[in-house]
Structure 1
């Protein structure tokens, strides 16, 4: 097979696409593995489409159906007639009756746009049409819709995308039970020109750190209208990143975010629009970096701000704010730490017994210490660069703790645990190659955890004290995790700092409390999007 594969590869080398497809014939084992992966992917995609069709990708929200009005905001410009009609039809098909759809013709040069909008307003009195004499651009066009909106919340729908028929119903039920939420976001997938669904995006729960990496709160997004008015809507000059900038400013103004699991939004993938988006990406990245840098500069603590593109094709970013000079640290270790080369910090050593540090002992040290940050290093310690990285992530507001990942050679052993909707704790990175980007590239960036690793972390001392006080009624294994959750504080694991560890640690064995936030859904396993649990 190898000889045949080599001969075929040489024969088709002048034809790059065919050569790429046959490349793995040169390596029989890889060819079999890749073929098996392709078959599995096709089977899982069929299973996904069937589950979507059967309504299996929703999380039912309990409670009575409310009656508040939701405004669906859709600026219209260059769009295929059939896609615009489909977008409007997806709103009219909603099972929730209390909506209005505002279609704003942003001086579209396409003749069919006015015809479709005129027909739409005649079909349903809940549809309002506005015509702009000149093109405003997406940011100002959206702001005009916000100005005209009558709904308590505004849902944003692009002019060629689709809503799930139960999208607004699910959203309304959720918001009725969570009136504190200002920005709600859901899961999404892609739909092609043939109406075929693919690439489901099952998102983790809310995380400030993830928002600093990519705009994962966009589709579907529903925002309280009064909050949109408070922040002044979208800012001009951020084309391509106007939604990202809006989310950061809502957060900066005290907005509360929440995730509603379920594929409720279908993002249209059209070759022409994707080509335009790709051409506009460099400018969009420049605008996103500007918004991110401004956001980081507004934090109450920290020093110099840096922002850069991490992964251009996926629009992933890296934002850091250096820890302030003179930050006081208490290093908890059995032996005096090596302090040489660690500049800019006031450090003290707190002797603890060898082995893993129990949460009760951490709390005892926190109550007795006067340091601002407690450092629990791995046996080999942290370098200056590693410590700076962990402390810079700790500057993100409402961050309690940042932990490094433990590896054995090229394999990730531990990164902390998240709660799954199956009622179990899972380490989403365990067993992966340390260079594997993972599902949605989430293994490349800092991500949320419920329970951190028992060593290799930095934590605000006061966050430990406050968490223990907030969770006095909670069983011992869960006091710190649920205390931080109740206080709205985040625990984060980062792939940017790794250390060697030979020991495999067990997750807390006590039953998972019902109030634990869920960051992992069973759908990831059902459709083979994450590796099966290992070790």
Structure 2
């Protein structure tokens, strides 16, 4: 039996592991169907080639290469030449450090393309200075309005640049553009594991580099940001994305798969252990970001490679009110779990039997922050109050929620809204100890709302909420919270480091 399956059974149990395997198979089949439904046919691609834009933007695709597999290199270049949007340049630098008499295969391949397409620029470096310095050399060759980053063994979808230009036609102020992505097997014959990303999400970005590919940045922003940092090789892209995001709020997400990340034994997409140094560099990149933003916080590595946990500072004298909701017989176990979890002193408790009573007691609350918790819940993580307060004291955050589980499964892990505007409950039914797709279940993220059964709120948000008129409306309460936060230009944060168990 596969060793990974054995570990899953030991951690999650046989039934939960079976559910996970079935879900993975269902997702794989669903993506095959999705690909068929969203396949770009020749007629559509031809229409894109003929499309006349109001304004042309030139895209400079920068690619450092180092002894790249010939098949992968040709596929990468061919995917760029196949773009339906034609105003681009490909800036390649080769740092392969060929020895005297050695077959210079990479140079020979690229020079054949140079003869056929003047949009391709090529420079051979005398020595390999590392991924950051090599990429910087490629950027120096760029003359476009936007820089596009690509790896030497990956591929762009044929409509990648067209979709970027189309977005700019509608949103000419866009400074940063990123897209969804998937993976391809080494031979390029199969696509799998799509990553359908959210719109810009700062807390998710601070938890892991979810943007990754495709990443496009306006040249003027790139010049402000400066070069990639050679000291952070392995996480140079993460550091660069963070620095670019610090310079602008005009960040746009294209909800289409425009980039194919190739999996082979040396790539981090297939084997995270192949570049453990990259995850250490990622932590340093995040620490530098926090310093530049002058945020009172510290960074810890998360539970999985490439995930990070930011612990925000807070005033230890900040008073909070904890509203415990439910039948009185369950109060003690809930309160005991809170007291065991947190040594936070400046707190007081209010006990009510129904959520509808909150509107009766809120006017008498004198604290700026209020934690509402169902008394059938027990806190299972340490420093729960400290975790919530750290996030909530940020002015843009109006509510903080937790990972809510039973003994085996996830009950709620934040509430999102899909592209059609429908409310969704991601990860419900996943195994309690699963990481979720792309480690999303163990990563903080901004979301539309969180469970009303365990939420710490800014009191101003609570006062702005219109309470439901009847009992049993917890879902309505959550929707009201989401609408209220949007109106106040705030958002909720899902924090997986606050773990709650429902009895």
Say whether 1:324 aligns with 2:308.
no
Question: Residues of 2 paired with 1:385 and 1:374: CA distance?
Answer: 16
Match of 1:50 among 18, 32, 36: 36
Please list every run of 5 or more consecutive structure 2 residues that lacks an aligned counterpart in the other structure: 467-475
Say whether 1:292 aligns with 2:290.
no
Say whether 1:491 aligns with 2:484.
no
Question: Residues of 2 paired with 1:29 and 1:403: CA distance?
Answer: 28
The alpha-carbon distance between structure 1 residues 397 and 77, as it changes in their structure 2 partners (threshold 3 A), is: farther
Give the CA deviation at 1:69: 1.3
- The residue aligned with 1:138 is 131
The alpha-carbon distance between structure 1 residues 420 and 491, as it changes in their structure 2 partners (threshold 3 A), is: same
Match of 1:153 among 146, 149, 169: 146
- The residue aligned with 1:191 is 184
Q: Secondary structure at the match of 1:310?
A: coil
For this pair of structures, how many residues does the alignment match? 467
Question: Residues of 2 paired with 1:388 and 1:33: CA distance?
Answer: 34
Matches within 5 A, 1:363-512: 371-379=367-375, 385-394=383-392, 398-461=396-459, 480-482=481-483, 484-485=485-486, 489-501=490-502
Match of 1:126 among 115, 119, 125: 119
Report if aligned partners of 1:356, 1:454 keep a CA contact under 8 Å in 2.
Answer: no
Q: Secondary structure at the match of 1:265?
A: strand
Please list every run of 5 or more consecutive structure 1 residues that lacks an aligned counterpart in the other structure: 1-8, 10-15, 469-474, 503-535
Which range is displaced more, 91-100 or 138-147?
138-147
Question: Residues of 1 paired with 2:428 and 2:14: CA distance?
Answer: 28
The alpha-carbon distance between structure 1 residues 220 and 329, as it changes in their structure 2 partners (threshold 3 A), is: same
The alpha-carbon distance between structure 1 residues 103 and 403, as it changes in their structure 2 partners (threshold 3 A), is: same
Report if aligned partners of 1:293, 1:307 keep a CA contact under 8 Å in 2.
Answer: no
- The residue aligned with 1:93 is 82
Q: Secondary structure at the match of 2:374?
A: coil
Matches within 5 A, 1:98-109: 98-109=87-98
Scaled by the length of structure 1, the TM-score of the pair is 0.74
Question: Residues of 1 paired with 2:14 and 2:399: CA distance?
Answer: 46
Report if aligned partners of 1:329, 1:345 keep a CA contact under 8 Å in 2.
Answer: no
Report if aligned partners of 1:205, 1:258 keep a CA contact under 8 Å in 2.
Answer: yes
- The residue aligned with 2:469 is none
Report if aligned partners of 2:61, 2:90 keep a CA contact under 8 Å in 1.
Answer: yes
Question: Residues of 1 paired with 2:22 and 2:322: CA distance?
Answer: 49
Give the CA RMSD over aligned residues: 4.3
Q: Secondary structure at the match of 1:431?
A: coil
Q: Secondary structure at the match of 1:237?
A: helix
The alpha-carbon distance between structure 1 residues 358 and 439, as it changes in their structure 2 partners (threshold 3 A), is: farther
Report if aligned partners of 1:240, 1:280 keep a CA contact under 8 Å in 2.
Answer: no
Say whether 1:173 aligns with 2:166.
yes
Report if aligned partners of 1:359, 1:480 keep a CA contact under 8 Å in 2.
Answer: no
Question: Residues of 2 paired with 1:146 and 1:455: CA distance?
Answer: 50
The alpha-carbon distance between structure 1 residues 431 and 136, as it changes in their structure 2 partners (threshold 3 A), is: same
The alpha-carbon distance between structure 1 residues 275 and 459, as it changes in their structure 2 partners (threshold 3 A), is: closer
The alpha-carbon distance between structure 1 residues 478 and 379, as it changes in their structure 2 partners (threshold 3 A), is: closer
The alpha-carbon distance between structure 1 residues 358 and 232, as it changes in their structure 2 partners (threshold 3 A), is: farther
Report if aligned partners of 1:146, 1:225 keep a CA contact under 8 Å in 2.
Answer: no
- The residue aligned with 1:522 is none
The alpha-carbon distance between structure 1 residues 322 and 176, as it changes in their structure 2 partners (threshold 3 A), is: same
Question: Residues of 2 paired with 1:413 and 1:446: CA distance?
Answer: 17
